[in-house]
Structure 1
């Protein structure tokens, strides 16, 4: 079978995307997804997404996301933004979109070349002496460090991701350095990719909320510098946690291609 695919990136977080509205690809074909994401023997990507027919009233499409290891994964923020841009490219949506992902319904808007993706509300942030933990659609460990540019994200991230209390299920791991005001630099080790990625949408969302929860910032808008580019997170704090959380940044098509499967 000759499979048509598209390559997208959002601040360096890159994805293979397949228009699967006709069901041409089985969601059980995890070996294929892993091969397509392989940077040596396939296309190369941090993850793969299928855009599928909507199942719920009011939805424009369904997002199905797989990690680079081929396994279906929890929510991917940058992936969601790229899939909205892809849906606009296909003519499914114009400047607004509603879709369902593994963590529920999402709303998004395309404006001034940026995709604003509404994330799920967050009601609990666990605070520890050395770090914070929260779920922004995917689980995230957040810790402050110094000299982030020189930090050993690969080894330290792997150690935390596989250690207590995460073990086999694992957690994404974010290392954060405050730059000034409401600007923070972030580097992320992603489970499923098992490596540092240039950007992680659910990760920077977790960082922004964590920085507000620990009074590192008092604004309801946080700017994040990742190795792949700049993202912004806005939110509304409430007595129950955080709502109206938006992940904002660019999402671009890199190329279209065909591959034999």
Structure 2
């Protein structure tokens, strides 16, 4: 058996700094976990700074200059449907598959809108089908109904986890497509997230692990957010499911009320969240194309 290196075309997108390599699912990637681990690496992964676009060098559109990515979106476009459908599979930097990613789904919608000309898309994810609308560089996506039920999070016990102590952090557990442990703090900048989050992320209370999100509420009712993501195993510049989890938990705890939208600001920018009393939550914000390039794929042949 021989091992060969082939190259496939990819694109890079980001939603408020949450960045993704986008691969058309028609391209053959025999080992998707290995591909994600290789090219998402922040030390040696995909590098936009060396990509030539229309004769000019470019850097990441979020102006961070970072290598790598927060995941790989494998997207299968079904353009014959109306509205067009996109089957989305997110493979994370550790090789695992995430059931849902809000910013990833918004990037998938932007990618599909560019190819179909449609401003309305249906994104099929392992967490369910989500409707997205595209308005210029702004993408809004339905996120499903947040659930605190122990079976849905999931939790090890049969009671909801509401403002409970988990590994020294007071958290509320909610599933917004993926599980989140949300902690409200006085100031997110005062939290050493890399120090406190791993113990919560791997706590016995969460048999499948959890994303760990901290949030602080401002006097104007907006929130600042930071999230340590399961599968990335570190903090990301933005987390859409985490932003929805912040508002869902805040509403459950009486910090916000009604159906009005709430601004949540991770480090990468502002997101607008609605968590209505009835119906799905929504996540809205910018999604931006960065560049196109080609990346190596390992192919084994006899």
> Same fold per TM (> 0.5)?
yes
Aligned residue runs from structure 1 range 1-261, under 5 A? 1-20=6-25, 22-26=26-30, 28-43=31-46, 44-54=68-78, 60-89=85-114, 91-124=115-148, 126=160, 127-129=162-164, 130-166=170-206, 169-220=208-259, 221-238=261-278, 243-261=279-297
Deviation at residue 148 of structure 1 after TM alignment: 1.4
Cα gap change, 1:232 to 1:48, in 2 (>3 Å): same
User: Which blocks of at least 5 consecutive residues in structure 2 are unaligned?
Assistant: 1-5, 47-67, 150-159, 165-169, 298-302
Report SS of the residue matched to 2:204: coil
* 1:92/1:141 CA distance change after superposition, 3 Å: same
CA distance in 2 between counterparts of 1:183 and 1:35 reads 37
Measured on the aligned residues, the alpha-carbon RMSD in Å equals: 1.9
Shifted more, 213-222 versus 6-15: the winner is 213-222
Shift of 1:155: 1.2
- TM-score, normalised to structure 1's length? 0.91
Residue number in structure 1 paired with 2:167: none
Quick one: distance in 2 between partners of 1:122 and 1:50? Answer: 25
Deviation, 1:32, is 1.6
SS at the partner of 2:108? helix
The size of the alignment, in residue pairs, is 253
Answer yes or no: is the 8 Å Cα contact 2:99–2:126 preserved in 1.
yes
Q: 1:57 to 1:98 in 2, by over 3 A?
A: same
Change (3 A) 1:245 1:56: farther
Richer in strand (by share): 1
Q: Aligned-pair distance for 1:180?
A: 2.1
**Which residue in the other structure is 2:60 paired with?**
none
Task: Give the Cα–Cα distance (whole angstroms) in 1 for the partners of residues 23 and 177 of structure 2.
Answer: 22
Contact conserved, 1:95 with 1:109, CA < 8 A, in 2?
Answer: yes
Query: Residues 34 and 150 of structure 1: is their aligned pair in 2 closer, same or farther, counting only changes over 3 Å?
Result: same
Q: Secondary structure at the match of 1:131?
A: strand
Gaps of 5+ in 1: none
Contact preservation (8 Å) 1:60, 1:93: no
TM-score, structure 2 as length reference: 0.79
Shift of 1:40: 1.9
The residue that corresponds to 2:63 in the other structure is none
Q: Report SS of the residue matched to 1:244.
A: coil
Distance 2:280 2:32 in 1: 35
